[in-house]
């Protein structure tokens, strides 16, 4: 009975170690992915693409467009593939608006946010 218990504990310990190693590899991969997204830009020396680069007017326009896409996706084409697609696109636009950051803008070096004069 005791050896069975020790065997189970040993197997569980090995599984836990495997999970820990997998998490360490995932963290390493995530940090490498983040480094890949660093871009060189003439306006900014080295900038991460995920920073606030969406201005106030741009955010409002994005929220209006997202609302329209939500309405059309849910009310007009509800349940269809087109409706699900429109709702998904609206969600992505709404999230970028609420977060104030657009990945595509970062890749293209676009910044519609007014810079603080103190910076």
DSSP code at position 75 = I
Q: What is the pLDDT of residue 41?
A: 43
Token readout for 2 is 């005791």
Q: State which residues of the chain have pLDDT below 70.
A: 1-2, 5, 19, 21-50, 116-119
Q: What is the pLDDT of residue 14?
A: 77
- C-alpha 112/C-alpha 101 separation (Å) is 10
Q: What is the pLDDT of residue 80?
A: 92
Enumerate the domain spans of the chain: 1-36, 39-119
Predicted confidence (pLDDT) per residue in 92-118, tens digit: 999 988 888 888 888 888 888 887 666
Express as a percent the part of the chain with pLDDT over 70.
Answer: 67
Q: What is the pLDDT of residue 104?
A: 84
> Which of 36, 85, 97, 90 has the alpha carbon at shortest distance from 68?
90
38 Cβ neighbours under 8 A, 6+ residues apart: 46, 47, 48, 49
């Amino acid at each position: 009975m005791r050896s069975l218990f020790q065997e189970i504990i040993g197997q569980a310990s090995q599984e836990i170690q495997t999970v820990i190693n997998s998490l360490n590899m995932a963290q390493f991969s995530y940090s490498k992915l983040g480094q890949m997204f660093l871009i060189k830009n003439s306006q900014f020396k080295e900038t991460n693409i995920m920073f606030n680069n969406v201005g106030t007017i741009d955010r409002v326009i994005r929220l209006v467009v997202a609302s329209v896409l939500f309405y059309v996706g849910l009310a007009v084409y509800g349940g269809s593939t087109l409706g699900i697609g429109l709702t998904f696109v609206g969600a992505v636009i709404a999230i970028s608006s609420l977060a104030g950051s657009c990945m595509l803008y970062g890749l293209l070096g676009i910044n519609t946010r007014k810079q603080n004069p103190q910076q």
